[in-house]
Amino acid sequence: MNEKIAQLLNTQINKELYSAYLYLDMSNFYDEQDLDGYANYYMIQAQEERDHALLFMKYMQNNGLKVTLDAIDKPDKVFENILAPLTAALEHEKYVTSLINNIYHEAHEAKDYRTMKFLDWFVNEQMEEEDNADSMVKKYKLFGQDPKGLYLLDQEYAARVYNAPSLVL
């Protein structure tokens, strides 16, 4: 495999683990506010991000590539209010989409069809991730300022359950 692509895949493991860290930080923030539903939502989001990291790692292993784990950055965002993590999550997912698109672009340039096929799942996943994050921002803006509305939103997010990824390697 093209060395540049191998490097990008390896870096993506770290990016996904950082995403997990970021969402754990958000989960802690909401836990401190006693918004247990939001805390639950981001706890599960962190689990999904860990799964993404493991999928990249497994793909590298399956292709005989050496995996090098790097230090994970400290999540250092200070959340000023209940909306702040929601908008930060949306921005973060847009950033992750740009990373996936970049690997896809390099794989296309290198005619690495196998990696393109592997990444197809992530391209779709990012659409879902951005859509969910966007919906959380919009719902909060519509209903979240009202205590009853916020309570109902929190109940909605409390119902989220963890599902293993549909991609199996």
Q: How far is the CB of 125 from ligand FEO (least distance, A)?
A: 7
Cβ neighbours of residue 55 closer than 8 Å, sequence gap 6 or more: 121, 165, 167, 169
Q: Which residue is nearest to ligand FEO (CB)?
A: 52
Q: Cβ 98 to ligand FEO, closest distance in Å?
A: 11
Distance between start and end Cα atoms, the chain: 18
Q: Does 112 bind ligand FEO (CB under 6 A)?
A: no
Task: Pick the closer one to ligand FEO by CB: 56 or 140.
Answer: 56
Contact at 8 Å (CB) between 104 and 116? Answer: yes
Confirm or reject binding of residue 90 to ligand FEO (CB under 6 A): no
CA distances to 36, 70, 73, 140, 145 from 148, in Å: 15, 44, 37, 12, 9
Listed in sequence order, the residues at least 6 apart from 113 whose beta carbon sits closer than 8 Å to its beta carbon are 107
Binding-site string for ligand FEO from residue 42 to residue 81, where x marks contact by CB under 6 A and - marks none: -------x--x-----------------------------
16 belongs to the binding site for ligand FEO (CB under 6 A) = yes
Task: Enumerate binding residues for ligand FEO (CB under 6 A).
Answer: 16, 19, 49, 52, 93, 96, 129
